[in-house]
């Protein structure tokens, strides 16, 4: 056997071993998710959430909605917040220097008037140009500021907020009415041991949403959007539940997360990174471990936020490249944690998982695709190894996605029609053959952007998820 063949065969077995490891990790998380979700939802069927509406222990919350050129969806988002079931809250829309008519639309639709208010500037932000309050809804405020990015807008909202907990919410999202009661329940019951919680994100494209309220769950007729529905189900139900169960969760989605304001301010607020939501959570975990505190960050699967997803390959590609750059930034900034026993399970389990599985995964998968091509021409042992790699890839992609769809129907039952579930099953089975290779290539491009030092968010066209 030549040196080339020896290297190739060794590489093939390394790739195969890596995929076996990844499948085992995801399989373990899926089993934990199945057990956790079923137990939790058996309890939730009789959970008296209405009692929290009148409980003296319920925490008031400030809802922060950073908005940059969100004219298409901002009205529906605020309308959904106005009708939520929660005893005390304020809504803070932070207009981050929008160049469209976001601010003008808010002023007209909600009868905003300029007010003067002293703000304690605990976090550094760009200049605040004006503050407005609604004549229709006194708990609705709009902060108009110079453009500084999403992190800067959130920090401005934290400075302005009056309550001890805040929720970050995207400007193109719609919240279910009882979502806040559910997402804040662990905080209310923990005696402040839980300092952050995150809810589930679902794709709103194809759903019927009127005046900020979800009236019918549907599926888009665009294959890329349907695949994102499945991808979100797997990421949230089959991934984050398993990590959250052992306090290993390093991501609370910026689209729907609740945080203790005190701890976020102590941590320094949101950083100006592409993945500011993940970086903040990693920083909070780091602070907890360094201070040897018993604090938790948890994921709550039931409360749902519906958000708009990219419908074209062009914008989805930009999003996935950005997400992967954000993942690397968070890991790089906190690389001290990686494999460091001082940080216990976060340093020895969670950070290695996100680095070796989530960040480096696309490189290994791309190498596996190249192995399939080599095996086609070389034959011999490579064919067996390549077929085993392909089988594991199908399990990792398609079968785990099918399991996530089953878990969704078993627990939350958000998709009421059999035809919708059938479509999700069919698409989930095909994932490994077209969608996953696409996302692998896009994430590889994100790694290339990291190496070349490319910055920026990239634009995304918003159509809006709500009919007014």
Lookup: tokens for 54? 């009148």
Nearest to 322 by CA among 160, 447, 166: 447
Which residues form the domain of 373? 1-468
Q: What are phi and psi of 433, to 5 degrees?
A: -95, -15
Nearest to 133 by CA among 77, 91, 86: 91
Write down the pLDDT at residue 215: 86
Rounded CA separation 67/462 (Å): 12
Write down the pLDDT at residue 46: 46
List C-alpha distances in Å: 458 to 288, 318, 319, 323, 330.
Answer: 34, 6, 8, 11, 19
Compute the radius of gyration of the chain from its Cα atoms.
23
How many domains in the chain? 1
CATH code of 162's domain: 3.90.550.10
Write down the pLDDT at residue 461: 58
DSSP calls for 392-458? HHHIIIIIHHHHHHHHHHHHT-----HHHHHHHHHHHHHGGGTHHHHHHHHHHHHHHHHHHT-----
Cα torsion 208, 211, 215, 216 to 10°: value is 10
Rounded CA separation 194/160 (Å): 23
Query: Per-residue confidence of the chain (468 residues) as pLDDT tens digits?
Result: 677 777 777 887 888 889 889 888 888 888 888 777 766 655 454 455 666 665 666 889 999 999 999 888 888 889 889 988 898 999 999 999 999 999 999 999 999 999 998 888 899 999 999 999 999 999 999 999 999 999 999 999 999 999 999 999 988 788 888 888 889 888 988 878 999 999 889 999 999 888 778 888 899 999 999 999 999 988 887 778 888 888 999 999 888 999 999 999 999 999 999 889 999 999 999 999 999 999 999 998 877 899 989 999 999 999 999 999 999 999 999 999 999 999 999 999 999 999 999 999 999 989 888 877 877 777 665 677 777 888 888 888 888 888 888 887 777 677 878 888 899 989 999 998 899 999 999 999 999 999 998 876 655 555 655 555
């Amino acid at each position: 056997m030549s040196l080339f063949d020896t290297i190739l065969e060794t590489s093939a077995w390394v790739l195969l071993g890596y995929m076996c490891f990844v499948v085992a990790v995801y399989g373990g998380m899926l089993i934990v998710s199945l057990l956790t979700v079923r137990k939790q939802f058996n309890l939730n069927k009789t959970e008296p959430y209405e009692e929290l509406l009148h409980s003296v222990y319920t925490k008031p919350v400030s809802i922060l909605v950073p908005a940059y050129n969100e004219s298409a969806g901002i009205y529906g988002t605020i309308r959904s917040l106005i009708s939520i079931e929660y005893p005390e809250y304020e809504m803070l829309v932070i207009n981050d220097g929008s160049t469209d008519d976001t601010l003008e639309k808010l002023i007209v639709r909600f009868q905003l008037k300029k007010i003067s208010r002293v703000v304690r500037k605990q976090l550094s932000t760009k200049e605040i140009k004006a503050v407005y309050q609604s004549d229709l809804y006194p708990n609705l405020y709009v902060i108009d500021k110079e453009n500084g990015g999403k992190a800067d807008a959130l920090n401005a909202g934290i400075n302005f907020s009056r309550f001890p907990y805040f929720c970050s919410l995207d400007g193109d999202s719609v919240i279910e009415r009882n979502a806040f009661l559910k997402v804040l329940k662990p905080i209310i019951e923990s005696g402040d041991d839980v300092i952050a919680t995150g809810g589930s994100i679902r794709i709103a494209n194809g759903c019927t949403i009127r005046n900020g309220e979800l009236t019918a769950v549907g599926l888009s007729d665009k294959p890329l959007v349907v695949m994102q529905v499945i991808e979100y189900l797997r990421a949230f139900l089959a991934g984050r539940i398993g990590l959250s169960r052992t306090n290993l969760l390093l991501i609370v989605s910026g689209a729907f997360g609740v945080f203790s304001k005190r701890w976020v301010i102590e941590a320094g607020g949101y950083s100006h990174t592409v993945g500011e939501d993940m970086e903040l959570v990693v920083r909070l975990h780091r602070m907890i471990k360094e201070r040897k505190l018993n604090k938790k960050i948890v994921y709550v699967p039931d409360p749902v936020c519906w958000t708009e997803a990219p419908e074209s390959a062009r914008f989805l590609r930009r999003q996935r490249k950005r997400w992967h750059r954000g993942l690397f930034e968070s890991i790089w900034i906190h690389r001290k944690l990686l494999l460091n026993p001082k940080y216990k399970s976060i340093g020895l389990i969670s950070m290695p998982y996100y680095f070796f599985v989530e960040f480096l995964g696309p490189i290994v998968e791309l190498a596996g695709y190249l192995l399939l091509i080599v095996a086609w021409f070389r034959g011999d042992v490579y064919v067996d190894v390549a077929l085993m790699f392909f089988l594991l890839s199908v399990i990792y992609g398609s079968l785990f996605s099918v399991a996530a769809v089953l878990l969704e129907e078993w627990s939350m039952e958000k998709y009421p029609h059999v035809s919708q579930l059938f479509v999700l099953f069919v698409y989930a089975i095909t994932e490994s053959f077209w969608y996953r290779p696409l996302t692998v290539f896009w994430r590889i491009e994100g790694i290339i952007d990291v190496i070349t030092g490319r910055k920026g968010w990239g634009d995304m066209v918003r159509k809006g998820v709500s009919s007014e």
